[in-house]
Amino acid sequence: TVGYKNVEQSLDGPIDHPLLAVDSSSRINSTILQEKQKARMLETLFETLSAPAAYIAPSAMLSSFAYGRQTSLVVDVGHTGSRVTPVVDGYLLHSGTCTSARGGMWLGDVQRGVLEGCWKTNNGSNSVVNKWN
């Protein structure tokens, strides 16, 4: 987040081009608090920075566009969780969005457990079994 004073000091005058903000929230349905935060962000962009236009885009949509695809399945693996979001013709399908609490931290624990030999195998075979399920 860029502070108010830092933004104002770095600008010589009003902004003459549209601004794009990224919404990286992991909630499928917007809450009242999120809507208020978005409204306040847009208010700041328009009134303080004099932006002529602004758009708040979901991060999954921007990830899809970054790879030149309007239709894709975006898999976002973070430290504490994962999210899979379908994007069809540039629109997010909220009904198809899936989230999981297993992210990079869990995957690191699994890898460490396998390397240290803390994970069990099925009947002497080489397949790894998750001891937490």
Determine the longest span between alpha carbons in the chain, in angstroms. Answer: 71
Residue 7's H or E segment, with its range, is helix 4-10
The model's pTM is 0.66
Q: Give the mean model confidence (pLDDT) for residues 75-97.
A: 91
Question: Higher pLDDT residue, 109 or 76?
Answer: 76
Query: Percent of the chain, pLDDT > 90?
Result: 26
Would the pLDDT of 39 be above 60?
yes
Nearest to 26 by CA among 58, 66, 57: 58
The residue type found at 77 is V
- Predicted local distance difference test score (pLDDT) of residue 133: 46
Query: E strands, the chain, where?
Result: 19-23, 54-58, 72-77, 82-88, 91-92, 98-100
